[in-house]
Structure 1
């Protein structure tokens, strides 16, 4: 399914975002063969939904391929607000070490391992 078909089926603000999450997980699994336009649309849908739990999924989708990284803006990570998104991604405990984190200017940086 391409981005036009997805939009026709779900719209920009779907009532149920679980299919969006599933689609993004599938696109992440495809790696370099994924559809960056479909990923961008899915990330916009999750951004508009504004659930803090989706921030890491958007981050993973953004970095699933070069094309997706170029098409998904970092601002889409802040759907739940800059402060909440920043706290969600901040690396503070060893169990969360591999998660990305925001710098004070809300630019993403990968934690060093």
Structure 2
């Protein structure tokens, strides 16, 4: 099997981040986007400090689907991704991500 395309993953990561941040209100200073994966199926949960539930738009869900499909195609056994977004004092957003894999 060819090696996993980290450059493609990074591109989709960036796309997901931009689409997630488009869902934020001006008052939001932090947000979380959690993707749970079971086989080729996935669920998305998103919230911010001012929005207890955010319903992601179709474009964000499509990007998440591409991300999940990429990992499924390469057999990485990715189980979940937790993105955290934090607005700094200048108004820019920083982000981090935690990836969880099935170790079996």
TM-score, scaled relative to structure 2: 0.26
TM-score, scaled relative to structure 1: 0.24
Q: From the two aligned structures, give the one with the greater helix fraction.
A: 1
